[in-house]
Structure 1
Amino acid sequence: MSVTRALADGGHGQDSWSAAESAVLGEAVHCAPSVHNTRPWELTVHGRTAELRERPGLPAQHDPEGRDPRISFGAALANLVLAIGGLGWAAEVATGLAGDLVTATVTGTHRSRPTDAENRRRRALADRWSHRHAFDRRELPEGTRDVLLDALAAPGVTGRWISGPDEALAVARSLDYAARVFRGNTEYQRELTLWTNPRGHGVRPDAFGAVGLAAVGLTTSRTRLPDESLLADRIQQEAVLVVTTSADTPQDHVRAGAAMEQAWLEATSRDLAASVMTQPLHLEEVRTGLAQRLGLTAVPQLLMRFGLPAEPEVGER
């Protein structure tokens, strides 16, 4: 965890975050999910303000538009806002661009009590993890899908559950196509190998699923891809959510990430597991094709899987 404290006012006093409060904010941001566990942001605190800045990274063959770092940034921003609320302050958020990199300034404006939902999600920060393996075949508890959609709700962001055999087959075909493209892309496979790391930053070897959606979410050259019909069946058995935004700007990617994290933390607070897929949507033909097949008028940014874990909790943050 890296937090920089500006000490213009001595770093203490009623108008500044204390060292202990700064540590709380830093830990919350550290817990956010990020592409390949890279945490592509920097956090600075000064006065009653916390500032997130996207760190420049190496261009990615599989993500030329840089959506994944900004989605990750949005998740970190959501955690930061929850942490500020947990310290008893209302948070005012302003986002912008510094060159090609996104920034967010979050200021504690006045004393305020967090809602029950905010407290519940904040307590789930350290427990959230990525479940990239099979889920238990039991249905989600009644009403859970509506609760998760409510948690996701944000200006410019919408969520849509995949429903019925026709939609499941449409998603299966899109994911199968993307998986085959990436499996045969030597540059992408080289990047993925470089990011695979059993310790520290990177993708852990046990993050690569072998069955159903887990097999097509993060595809290696050795992945055995499931048959389309079997994949469609698995999609129907799981709770799969497509998250969309009204436009496709860097700020929209941040909004999608923040909304994603709220839904993920809500699921975690209810003892559910989840994982996110963005890799397939980096192919423009998959993004546009999926939108057409599902009749979406908004831009697909990511897919989320929710369920009850079927095996020990081994996953990547």
Structure 2
Amino acid sequence: MTSLSTRAKLGVVAASAVLLGAVAAGYAATAAEPARTPPPAATGDQAVTLTPGPRLLAITDRHVSSVATADPTGPRSVSGLECLRVYAAAGTGVCLKPDTPWTYQVVVLDAALHPTRTLSVPGLPNRARVSASGRMVSWTTFVGGDSYTSGGFSTRTGIIDTVTGATVTSLEEFTIKRDGRTYRNPDVNYWGVTFTADDNVFYATMSTGGKRYLVRGEVASRAVETVKENVECPSLSPDGTRIAFKEAIGADPAKGWRLSVLDLATMRVTATAETTSVDDQAAWLDDGTLAYTLRQSDGRPDVWAVAADGSGAPRLVLPGAESPSPLA
């Protein structure tokens, strides 16, 4: 665990980067850096695979890596596959990777990290998710040029059905019900998809009119409806009862975010013990633990974990890594 002074510095760094334009610019700078050679795997490590098991998938120096869940600070396997974001479930993965220095791809992976589908996407990679069955894949990128955004940046979020091949290039194509009424506005943006167990239903963040909403959507009907305000980057628990999310402090992202959990039955929100601003889509390590990325003052990432029920204290899980995804 770092000292309080170090964690305070983390909070300052996170709070200074909350505006969308600034965040996107930061991703641009990171993405433009040449990839570093992946560190060698420790002797005896096996190749990185997405086969389900007691391992934690992550990105180390922009390369897909894995480590034993029981010993996350122990020997780490690092592949040669370069990704800016990664996620996997049921032997299927998604990698948001560079194509050229300024273009990117969504790559669907099999368990051996071989590409099965590749899609060029606009913008800078930001979020990635795979449904629990491995069938549905989603991604979010930052994009520029939308005339309605004062900062010059917005987002694009898409979904691929890996069984049928059906592709939604942007959730902005979906119809919207806000507070029970049909809603349209050219400023609508989506990010941070998380899928339910049936693969058709998902949750995501929708931004419009200066507010951010949790929305519940259906791929088949191509429609979403608002559920609750001030819910960003949702992540559905393995049992399907709760959503981990980042809650803007005072409903103002400029003040930072508190990692929190929403009970879908009661709509009750519980703040976690993590008080540092978390600008990430948390991952559930199990039904009671959340993993997320925090950056040090020099930009280096670390994966932290905290209890979902508000108890305990945050703990460092995987130093020098980001984009955590449990494989078990």
TM-score band, normalised by the shorter chain? under 0.3
> Which structure has the larger Rg over C-alpha atoms?
1
Flag the structure with higher strand content: 2
TM-score (norm 2): 0.25
Name which structure has the greater RCO, CA cutoff 8 Å, separation 6+.
1
TM-score (norm 1): 0.25
